[in-house]
C-alpha cells in the first residue's frame, strides 16, 4: 500500500470518527387525548416537543430532569420503541425515523436498551438462559461455541455465576436482575446502549456496583451510552456531557464538569442546588438551595414562550412571549434562555434588570445613613451643644417618674447661674445653658407634661425681671418636683 493510500485511509477513518453516532433533530412525540364514543382527539400530551442533540462515538451522554419531563419517552424514541410524531433520528448517518420492523432489524444489533424496572423487564416464566439468549434467536445469530456458552460468558462478564443459567428471575435480588438486563443488552455487541434509570430501583450500595460495571464495560467494549437518570450524583460520575430537560425541552447541554461548576440556565442552577452533600465538612461549600415557586405546568397545555418562565426568578416580558432557542453561547455549551447565568453577552432586557438592581443596591446605604442620622445617640447630641439634639436623642417610651426627674433637673439648671455645687444632671446640661432661655422653654413645652410646661413658662417670665425674681421663680419651679415625688 502506498503512502497516499495510507493517508487516504487514515483520513477516511478520522472523518468517520468525527461524525456523531446518533443525531437527533426536532424530535417530537405527542400522545393524543381522545374522548367520547367516537374517540375524537381533544388534545395531546406533549411529552417531547422538539429537541436537538448529538451523541459522539464512545462518549456517555447523561440526560437529567424531574419526573414527567420526557426523558424516558426520548430514550424510547431514539431506540425506535416508539414512533416519533415528528423530527428526525439518524444513526451512523442513516435516517431510522420511520423505518418499519423489517427495516429496523439490522439496527437492533447496534442499538440496545436497559430498562428502568429490573422486576418488570424480565419474564418470570423464562429462565435466565432463555432471557439472555433471546436476542440471538430474534436475530438468527449463532455465536461461536454455542448459545449456552456465550450466555454463560455474558453472565460472568456482568459479575454473575455461569451456574445461574437455569434459574428464574424471582430467585435473584434487584441488583442481580439489573445485571441480567445488562447482559441481555450486550448479547449482540451493540455500539450504543440507552440506559433508562438503570440504578433508580436499587439500593445505594448496589447502585455503585452497577455504575462501576457499566464504566468497565464501556472501557472494555468501546460502548456509547445515553444514560437517563434523575439522580444527579450518578450522572455526574458517569457522564461526559449532560443534557438538562424541562417539560419536553432541552434547556441546557454542556460538558459535565462545566455544567456542575457553573450552570447557565436558571432551572439547572435550581436543580443542582437540590443535590445533597453527605459530608458535613463540605456542606459549607454548597450554595443556598433555590426553592422554585409553583408546580410544573401540565404538558397538555405548556406555557407560551419559555416553559420555565412561570417559575423563574429572572423572567421578563420576552420570556412570556418568545421561546428561546437552544443556542451555543460558547464552544460546547448550549443554553435555551434569554437571560442565562454568568453570560458575558447579556440580553438587553437582562441588562435593564441588572441596572435596576444596582441602583436599588446603591439606594440602600443612603437610606441607612439617613435613618442613623435621625436616631443618633444622646452622647453625640451632648457634644453638639444643642438642646434640640438632646431632645431628639431621648427615648420615646419613657416612664412618668423618669420624665419628672429630668424636668426637675432642667429647672435646677435654670436657677443656678454660678458653677458652684453643680450636680451631675447640671453638668450634663452645661452645654444647654449657652442657648437662649426662650429655646429652653420651647423644648420644655414639647417634651414635658402640661404642668411642667407651665412651670417653664413661669421661669421664662421670671428671667425677664430682676435676678431676685429669677430665684423666686426657680423656687416655684421646684414645687412640681416635690409633688411628683
CATH of the domain at 59: 3.40.50.300
Percent helix, strand, coil in the chain, to 5, is: 50, 15, 35
Q: Residue 213: CB partners within 8 Å, gap ≥ 6? A: 158, 159, 179, 182
If asked whether residues 300 and 365 sit together in one domain, one would say no
Q: What is the pLDDT along the chain (485 residues), one digit of tens a residue?
A: 444 343 334 333 344 567 899 999 999 999 999 998 888 999 999 999 999 999 999 999 999 998 899 999 999 999 999 999 999 999 999 999 999 999 999 999 999 999 988 889 999 999 999 999 999 999 999 998 899 999 999 999 999 999 999 999 999 998 999 999 999 999 999 999 999 999 888 888 888 888 999 999 999 999 999 999 988 888 988 999 999 999 999 999 999 999 999 999 999 999 988 877 766 666 566 567 788 888 889 999 999 999 999 999 999 999 999 999 999 998 989 999 999 986 444 333 433 333 344 444 444 445 445 544 544 444 444 444 443 443 343 433 444 444 554 555 555 444 443 443 444 444 444 444 444 444 444 434 444 444 554 555 554 544 544 544 444 545 555 544 444 44
Q: Give the per-residue pLDDT at 225.
A: 97
If asked whether residues 369 and 227 sit together in one domain, one would say no
If asked whether residues 442 and 298 sit together in one domain, one would say no
Q: Is residue 84 part of a domain?
A: yes
If asked whether residues 211 and 310 sit together in one domain, one would say yes
How far apart CA 224 and CA 10 sit, in angstroms, is 22
Q: Is residue 153 part of a domain?
A: no
Q: Is residue 383 part of a domain?
A: yes
If asked whether residues 327 and 207 sit together in one domain, one would say yes
If asked whether residues 323 and 400 sit together in one domain, one would say no
If asked whether residues 385 and 475 sit together in one domain, one would say yes
Q: Is residue 5 part of a domain?
A: no
Which of 374, 390, 425 is the C-terminal boundary of a domain? Answer: 374
If asked whether residues 324 and 359 sit together in one domain, one would say no
**Number of residues in the chain:** 485
Q: Residue 35: CB partners within 8 Å, gap ≥ 6? A: 42
How far apart CA 375 and CA 371 sit, in angstroms, is 6
If asked whether residues 351 and 339 sit together in one domain, one would say no
pTM, rounded to two decimals: 0.66
If asked whether residues 72 and 214 sit together in one domain, one would say yes
For the chain, the domain total comes to 3
If asked whether residues 364 and 398 sit together in one domain, one would say no
Using CA atoms, how far residue 79 sits from 134, 136, 195, 198, 239, in Å, is 18, 18, 11, 16, 19
Q: Give the per-residue pLDDT at 276.
A: 75
What is the extent of the structural domain holding 384? 378-484
Place of cell 443596591: 361
Q: Is residue 75 part of a domain?
A: yes
If asked whether residues 355 and 443 sit together in one domain, one would say no
C-alpha cell of residue 441: 422653654
Amino acid at each position: 500500500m502506498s503512502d497516499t493510500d495510507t493517508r487516504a485511509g487514515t483520513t477516511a477513518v478520522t472523518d468517520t470518527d468525527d461524525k456523531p453516532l446518533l443525531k437527533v433533530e426536532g424530535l417530537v412525540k405527542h400522545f393524543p387525548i381522545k374522548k367520547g364514543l367516537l374517540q375524537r382527539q381533544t388534545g395531546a400530551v406533549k411529552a417531547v416537543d422538539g429537541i436537538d442533540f448529538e451523541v459522539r462515538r464512545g462518549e456517555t451522554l447523561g440526560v437529567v430532569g424531574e419526573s414527567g419531563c420526557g426523558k424516558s419517552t426520548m430514550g424510547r424514541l431514539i431506540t425506535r420503541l416508539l414512533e416519533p410524531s415528528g423530527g428526525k433520528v439518524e444513526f451512523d448517518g442513516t435516517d431510522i425515523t420511520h423505518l418499519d420492523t423489517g427495516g429496523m432489524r439490522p439496527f437492533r444489533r447496534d442499538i440496545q436498551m436497559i430498562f428502568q424496572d429490573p422486576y418488570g423487564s424480565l419474564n418470570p416464566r423464562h429462565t435466565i438462559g432463555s432471557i439472555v439468549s433471546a436476542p440471538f434467536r430474534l436475530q438468527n445469530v449463532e455465536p461461536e461455541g454455542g448459545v449456552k456458552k456465550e450466555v454463560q460468558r455474558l453472565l460472568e462478564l456482568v459479575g454473575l455465576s455461569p451456574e445461574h443459567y437455569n434459574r428464574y428471575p424471582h430467585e435473584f435480588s434487584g441488583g442481580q436482575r439489573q445485571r441480567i438486563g445488562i447482559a441481555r443488552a450486550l448479547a449482540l455487541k451493540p455500539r450504543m446502549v440507552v440506559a433508562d434509570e438503570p440504578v433508580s430501583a436499587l439500593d445505594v450500595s448496589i447502585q455503585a456496583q452497577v455504575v462501576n460495571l457499566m464504566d468497565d464495560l464501556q472501557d472494555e467494549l468501546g460502548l456509547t451510552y445515553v444514560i437517563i437518570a434523575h439522580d444527579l450524583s450518578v450522572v455526574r460520575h458517569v457522564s461526559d456531557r449532560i443534557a438538562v430537560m424541562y417539560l419536553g425541552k432541552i434547556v441546557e447541554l454542556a460538558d459535565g464538569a462545566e455544567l456542575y461548576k457553573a450552570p447557565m440556565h436558571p432551572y439547572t442552577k435550581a436543580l443542582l442546588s437540590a443535590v445533597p452533600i453527605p459530608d458535613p465538612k463540605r456542606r459549607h461549600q454548597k450554595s443556598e438551595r433555590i426553592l422554585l415557586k409553583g408546580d410544573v405546568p401540565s404538558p397538555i397545555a405548556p406555557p407560551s414562550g419559555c416553559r420555565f418562565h412561570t417559575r423563574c426568578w429572572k423572567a421578563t416580558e420576552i420570556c412570556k412571549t418568545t421561546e428561546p432557542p437552544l443556542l451555543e453561547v460558547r464552544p460546547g455549551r448550549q443554553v435555551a434562555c434569554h437571560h442565562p447565568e454568568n453570560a458575558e453577552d447579556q440580553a438587553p432586557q437582562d441588562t435593564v434588570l441588572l441596572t435596576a438592581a444596582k441602583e436599588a443596591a446603591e439606594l440602600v446605604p443612603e437610606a441607612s445613613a439617613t435613618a442613623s442620622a435621625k436616631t443618633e445617640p444622646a452622647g453625640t447630641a451632648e457634644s453638639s451643644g444643642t438642646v434640640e439634639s438632646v431632645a431628639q436623642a431621648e427615648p420615646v417610651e419613657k416612664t412618668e417618674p423618669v420624665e419628672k426627674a429630668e424636668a426637675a433637673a432642667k429647672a435646677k439648671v435654670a436657677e443656678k447661674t454660678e458653677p458652684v455645687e453643680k450636680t451631675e444632671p447640671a453638668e450634663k446640661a452645661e452645654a444647654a445653658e449657652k442657648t437662649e432661655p426662650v429655646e429652653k422653654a420651647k423644648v420644655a413645652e414639647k417634651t414635658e407634661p402640661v404642668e411642667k410646661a407651665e412651670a417653664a413658662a413661669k421661669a421664662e417670665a421670671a428671667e425677664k425681671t430682676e435676678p431676685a425674681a429669677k430665684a423666686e421663680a426657680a423656687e416655684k419651679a421646684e414645687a412640681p418636683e416635690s409633688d411628683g415625688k
